[in-house]
């Protein structure tokens, strides 16, 4: 099957066999620097008033360890499944101010029934969500090694020498 990068026109899914379309993806995302192309598949099924989207994707990405700051390779694997509701955009939503209370049940993904679904964009979002929050190269990473300094505690940075001279002239109780 030839990889496709086109958006799926949602009404066309109703004429597809089993109201389903499978899209193979093999691409590089400019915003996600990967060593290998992102390879995967996204399957979209029209279920009447919602889309059932599932997929899989994989790539190798270079991350920077938060402890030792060394680069390391990480295999990014996703196998997400999501329901996307089909509903017309609310005309009233334009009248709301920027600050409005949103109910938990409103925190769902929606698309217009006569709109488009981007499988490539959806897979990109899933990969971004799968990036580790704490990027640690290995479980036994010790972090940046701090070498013992040979400098004495009394050594003062030459840029602070003038302040050190002023400190000598201050009374004892304010010098602290």
Q: Which pLDDT belongs to residue 169?
A: 84
Residue with tokens 């940075």: 157
Question: How far apart are the C-alpha atoms of 58 and 168, rounded to whole Å?
Answer: 64
Q: Does residue 23 sit in helix, strand or coil? A: strand
pLDDT for 133 beyond 90? yes
Question: pLDDT tens for residues 69-111?
Answer: 999 999 999 999 999 999 887 644 555 556 667 676 666 788 9
Q: Which pLDDT belongs to residue 5?
A: 57
127 neighbors 78 (Cβ within 8 angstroms): yes
Q: Which pLDDT belongs to residue 18?
A: 95
Q: Which pLDDT belongs to residue 92?
A: 47
Tally the C-alpha atoms within 13 A of residue 164's C-alpha that lie toward its C-beta.
8
39 neighbors 76 (Cβ within 8 angstroms): no
147 neighbors 121 (Cβ within 8 angstroms): no
């Amino acid at each position: 099957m030839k990889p496709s990068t086109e958006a799926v026109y949602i009404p066309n899914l109703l004429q597809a066999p089993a109201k389903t379309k499978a899209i193979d993806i093999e691409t590089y995302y400019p915003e996600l620097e990967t060593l290998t192309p992102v390879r995967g598949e996204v399957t979209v099924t029209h279920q009447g008033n919602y889309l059932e989207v599932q997929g899989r994707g994989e790539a190798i990405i270079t991350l920077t360890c938060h402890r030792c700051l060394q680069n390391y390779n990480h295999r990014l694997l996703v196998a997400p499944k999501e329901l996307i509701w089909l509903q017309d955009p609310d005309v009233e939503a334009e009248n709301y101010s920027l600050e409005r209370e949103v109910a938990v049940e409103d925190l769902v993904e929606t698309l217009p029934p006569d709109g488009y679904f981007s499988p490539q964009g959806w897979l990109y979002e899933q990969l971004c969500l799968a990036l580790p929050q704490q990027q640690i190269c290995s479980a036994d990473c010790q972090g940046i090694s701090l070498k013992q300094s040979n400098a004495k505690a009394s050594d003062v940075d030459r840029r602070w020498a003038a302040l050190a001279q002023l400190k000598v002239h201050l009374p004892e109780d304010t010098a602290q």
